[in-house]
């Protein structure tokens, strides 16, 4: 069922690929409203540094909602240093249970280079299979492309960039202006 509060909002593709001791999170820069591209250079992948430990987060959905979730995640990480899974589960619980938070329209990919999760407002904290995760309008295209490219020899960044290029060629809500963050285990 479509959400009438956000008619025609489409947005992004975020992809995470783990290979060779590294995780690459790539996000495109397109923000669309209906059939109109509103911005082509949005930055939807961010590096957090709670307690001196790097965590990379990519988000799809409403920007304001995503930033609210990023702030909450950062607080969870500060209260549970080095426990990414616990912080993600606590965020998902709050997101699902809190009257205000449960209305937020976003999804997150979160990694510290060792662990990799997709976090949703439905209370999901998912560890992806096959060392690839993707969210957003072009997420399924990027996921399929990355899984196929992992059959070859490319490193995580090469796979992510090629898969995002494929998604951008297929999905009208995805462009080739990438933000790429790399984090090692």
Active site residues: 12
- Per-position b or e across 28-50, b if 16+ CB within 10 A of its CB: bbbbbeeeeeeeeebebbbebeb
Distances (CA, A) of 26 to 9, 133, 185: 21, 11, 17
Q: In what order do the strands lie in the sheet with 179-184?
A: 132-136, 13-19, 22-27, 179-184
174 is in an annotated binding site: yes
88 is in an annotated binding site: no
- Conformation bin of residue 82: beta by default, left when phi > 0, alpha when psi is -120 to 50: left
How many other CB atoms are there within 10 angstroms of residue 167's CB atom? 29
171 is in an annotated binding site: yes
Cite the annotated binding site by residue number: 168, 171, 174
Instruction: Cite the annotated binding site for Na(+) by residue number.
Output: 168, 171, 174
């Amino acid at each position: 069922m479509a959400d009438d509060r956000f008619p025609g909002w489409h947005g992004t593709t975020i992809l995470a690929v783990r290979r060779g001791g590294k995780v690459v999170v790539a996000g495109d820069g397109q923000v669309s409203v209906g059939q109109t591209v509103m911005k082509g250079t949005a930055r939807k992948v961010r590096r957090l540094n709670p307690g001196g430990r790097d965590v990379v987060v990519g988000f799809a959905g409403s920007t304001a909602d995503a930033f609210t979730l990023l702030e909450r995640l950062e607080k969870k990480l500060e209260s549970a240093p080095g426990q990414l899974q616990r912080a993600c589960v606590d965020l998902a619980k709050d997101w699902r249970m809190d009257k205000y938070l449960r209305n937020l329209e976003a999804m997150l990919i979160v990694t510290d280079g060792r662990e990799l999760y997709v976090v949703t407002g439905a209370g999901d904290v998912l560890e992806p299979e096959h060392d690839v995760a993707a969210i957003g309008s072009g997420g399924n295209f990027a996921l399929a492309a990355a899984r196929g490219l992992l059959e070859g020899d490319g490193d995580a960044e090469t796979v992510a960039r090629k898969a995002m290029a494929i998604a951008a060629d297929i999905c009208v809500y995805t462009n080739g202006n990438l933000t790429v963050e790399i984090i090692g285990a």
